Amino acid sequence: MIENQSDNIDIKENDVSNQENVPEDTSSSEDKIIENEELSSEKIEEINTEELKNTISNNDARLEQLEKEHETLKNQYVRISADFDNFRKRQSRDQDDLKVQLVSKTLTAILPIVDNFERARQQLKPESEEAQALHRSYQGLYKQLVEVLKQQGVAPMRVVGQEFDPNLHEAVLREPSEEFKEDFVLEELQRGYHLEGKVLRHALVKVSMGPGKQNSQEEVEKDTVEESIDSEENTSEDV
């Protein structure tokens, strides 16, 4: 009996000692768990940081690509806008040129009528009252026609006394003149006209050859005649 009691006491002591040791093991396991959690949290933070860096890097690359695409589209827009603006200006110029061509063609067809009016005005010399009334009516029609031409931008050239310009004048005759130098317009044979600063019809003119041209020409003809006479005389002497 005494042995059994002693055994029981020993068992109880062992149990007590075991119970005393249990809290120490629990605390160590908790510490390990905390350490593991800290390690895992650090790893997670590292992973998140790495992922964030990768995301930022990808976003930067994407932003750079988008900026390049934006710049490309912007340049394309600028070129298209410039091309359209040039096309619009070209269309406007073409329309203006076509309008000028049509107006020029129409007005050119009217100019001979104006020439006839001017010739008739120079030839008519009204003496009776009836002729003067007719002449006034004619002058009224002529003024209306001239006014319509002015409204369309037509202006007559003033060429007499001006230096000959092939861009404005068309020389029909040339003759010597003591009044005008060489290559100056002596007389207007048919009036020329401008349309909005451009030549609608060239003026037909007579151009000066300058003074002394006629005398020199007569001398050349005289010398030619004398040479021919001398040659004939020499031929007769040889015979």
Residue 171 domain-assigned (yes or no): no
Q: How confident is the model at residue 213 (pLDDT cuts 50, 70, 90)?
A: very low
| Residues contacting residue 184 through CB under 8 Å, at least 6 positions apart | 161, 162, 163, 164, 177, 207, 208
Task: Give the three-state DSSP class for 212.
Answer: coil
Q: How confident is the model at residue 139 (pLDDT cuts 50, 70, 90)?
A: confident
Closest CA to 114 of 140, 146, 155, 138: 146
Kindly report, residue by residue over 222-234, the tens digit of the pLDDT: 455 455 545 544 4
Range of the domain at 123: 59-152
Q: How confident is the model at residue 2 (pLDDT cuts 50, 70, 90)?
A: very low
Residue 174 burial by Cβ neighbours in a 10 Å radius (0-12, 13-18, 19+) = middle
* Share of residues in the chain with pLDDT > 90 (%): 15
**47-73 burial, b if ≥16 CB within 10 A, otherwise e?**
eeeeeeeeeeeeeeeeeeeeeeeeeee
**pLDDT above 50 for 173:** yes
The count of domains in the chain is 1
pTM above 0.75, yes or no: no
Closest CA to 205 of 235, 175, 179, 237: 175
Alpha-carbon torsion angle 118, 122, 123, 129, nearest 10:
100
- DSSP, residue by residue, 143-181: HHHHHHHHHTTEEE---TTSBP-TTTEEEEEEE--SSS-
Phi first, then psi, for residue 49 (nearest 5°) are -60, -45
Kindly report, residue by residue over 95-117, the tens digit of the pLDDT: 888 887 888 888 888 899 888 88
Q: Which residue has the higher pLDDT, 127 or 24?
A: 127
Q: How confident is the model at residue 202 (pLDDT cuts 50, 70, 90)?
A: very high
Residue 108 domain-assigned (yes or no): yes
Six-digit token string for 145: 């026609």
For residue 42, count other CB atoms closer than 10 A to its CB: 10
Closest CA to 173 of 203, 202, 207, 201: 207
pLDDT on residue 205: 93
Residue 191 domain-assigned (yes or no): no
Mean per-residue pLDDT over the chain, rounded: 76
Torsion sign (Cα): 141, 145, 146, 148: positive
pLDDT on residue 216: 45
Answer for the pair 156, 180: CB distance below 8 angstroms, yes or no. Answer: no
Residue 146 domain-assigned (yes or no): yes
Q: How confident is the model at residue 181 (pLDDT cuts 50, 70, 90)?
A: confident
pLDDT on residue 152: 87
Worst-scoring range by mean pLDDT, 85-94, 188-197, 204-213?
A: 204-213
> At what angle are helices 2-123 and 129-151 packed, to 10 degrees?
160
Residue 17 domain-assigned (yes or no): no
Residue 11 domain-assigned (yes or no): no
